Structure 1
């Protein structure tokens, strides 16, 4: 499970309206596949299904009382189950909607805030969610980045062909086309026999969830920021002590526990949020933990690592003897690459 929380921006500024983001999330409903009878995925919240984009825009944009221009009006939560987690779901869309509603209870519980002397509950959260089933490769995906040197050469050769066709230079077009074909096949990352490029749809089950969460509570009077730098603290406001903060660590961990409980999922060590943090902060400790797993669990862990798509290492250490200083330095370097590419994170 990979979850991100971000304040939506337009360039360097916070978006004044959710309209652009809602329009972006409607892209799947506008795909040609819908003409073949494919089901529409509409917005939903804690208690309602089939909410229109217009209602989402109206409700989120109107729920911004006393927020300044320099403050985010809404947050985006993206929930990305792994291929293993998705296989566990029987009815994909309905199961993901059910999970989202349980997840948002966890989200509310991780605020260190009170309203009228009671803890925050999911009924205080104004949110709208949507299930999507497709993903495309982006420019910062490592597959696209590592294919880029081939893409550049192919573009140069295609430009050469155009110059020859315009009579600007002489050359053998057939020979250049053969070189282009060779480069297409030589690119390290392929999907269904084609070089992976930005914008290409990813194969397999790519179902995931987008959640739009208002910065203000449902009464439009209390600010609830999951971007708070505080986990749990108190501050004096107008002579009164007020709780504040949001515990992201607790939210990510609860998200896993809720999924596992609801769908009877047996989570492997390498799938856990805590393991991901250890991987980033202390790779030697991480791989030591992997090596120490029971045989069957370790075999699955290593399989998951090799399938993860992370630009890790030519070899994954499987014994303590392989965890050399040199290897640890290589691990730390590759982790930096993975973080920059957006492939992993916390």
Structure 2
């Protein structure tokens, strides 16, 4: 599971309203009948229309400065293994989101009227999406890129031959293009994977738009706070502040496992991904200590990122380089959902 928290984009073409973002989240509903559309939901309601979301978020910005985010975007990307486990059931995904948002509320080191922040203080709206498209940073796109560049060059030659600008054998050029397509490492039904192409398999994920202000429009609740759990003296009183991202990510993961009796592999865990980012050598040492069955599954997930583990017989200097390269591949795979995240 890969969870991200991002502030509202401000400036440029982005307005102070949530309208642009909500309209973007409606992209999968375009061209569908009313009965087929996916609506927003929150902690207690389903079937919430886009205009209601915009009205609620835009109307909950009291005393926020012009350049302060009015809302945050949370994206929850279950792995393909997690989705397979729950059969990508939308109702189960909704139930999980509601549990995860309880963890979101509990991760604020704040008090409202002398009590901890609760889920009823959080104004949010969530939407399930079923599709994902390939982006330029995906492994498939990056590894196809050399082939795509050669194909683009050959197609340009074809156009020049057709216009009479250069001489050439069009059939030979066409054959070269087809040969490159066959050799490209990533294809879907014989077509080379390109940016914007829909990904195959289970791709359900959830977008959440959460107001910066609490439900009463009185208190600012920022998950982007630079402060971790701490206290500061303001007006002669100690005030709690901060948001614990690690807690939110880990407890959301734990909530999924508990709800659906999911047996999480080591490489799927947030703690493992964090270790990979901070100490890749220790990460791989931890992999080697896993029980045989768990290790087999872990290595399978890593291989799906597009690279094997570094060989043990490599010189120490080259092993270090291999660790760094593999770390980049795995992190990119996680973010792009290419190993299921």
- Tell me the distance in 2 between the aligned counterparts of 1:119 and 1:77: 21
Structure 1 length-normalised TM: 0.91
Residue aligning to 2:322:
330
Higher mean alpha-carbon deviation, 290-299 vs 159-168, is at: 159-168
Choose the corresponding residue for 1:273, options 270, 285, 291.
270
Partner SS, residue 49 of structure 1: coil
Check whether the contact 1:14–1:72 (CA below 8 A) recurs between aligned residues. Answer: no
Structure 2 length-normalised TM: 0.92
Structure 1 residues 235 and 222 mapped into 2: Cα distance closer, same or farther (>3 Å)?
Answer: same
Partner SS, residue 235 of structure 1: strand
Q: Does 1:166 align with 2:163?
A: yes
Higher mean alpha-carbon deviation, 82-91 vs 20-29, is at: 82-91
Residue aligning to 1:299:
296
Check whether the contact 2:138–2:332 (CA below 8 A) recurs between aligned residues. Answer: no
Structure 1 residues 272 and 112 mapped into 2: Cα distance closer, same or farther (>3 Å)?
Answer: same
Structure 1 residues 20 and 246 mapped into 2: Cα distance closer, same or farther (>3 Å)?
Answer: same
- Tell me the distance in 2 between the aligned counterparts of 1:74 and 1:295: 45
Residue aligning to 1:228:
225
Q: Does 1:98 align with 2:95?
A: yes
Residue aligning to 1:60:
57
Deviations 1:304-327 (A, max 9, x none): 2222x2x5x4x31587x7794421
- Tell me the distance in 2 between the aligned counterparts of 1:10 and 1:264: 41
- Tell me the distance in 2 between the aligned counterparts of 1:90 and 1:335: 30
Residue aligning to 2:309:
316
User: Residues 1-346 of structure 1 correspond to what in structure 2 (within 5 A)?
Assistant: 1-9=1-9, 15-31=15-31, 34=32, 39-90=36-87, 92-307=89-304, 309=305, 311=306, 313=307, 315-316=308-309, 324-336=316-328, 339=331, 343=335
- Tell me the distance in 2 between the aligned counterparts of 1:14 and 1:215: 17
Coordinate RMSD, CA, aligned: 2.4
- Tell me the distance in 2 between the aligned counterparts of 1:13 and 1:226: 24
Structure 1 residues 4 and 91 mapped into 2: Cα distance closer, same or farther (>3 Å)?
Answer: closer
Flag the structure with more relative contact order, 1 or 2, with Cα contacts below 8 A and sequence separation at least 6: 2
Partner SS, residue 98 of structure 1: helix
- Tell me the distance in 1 between the aligned counterparts of 2:88 and 2:140: 30
Structure 1 unaligned regions, length at least 5? none
How many aligned residue pairs are there?
Answer: 338
- Tell me the distance in 2 between the aligned counterparts of 1:93 and 1:227: 28
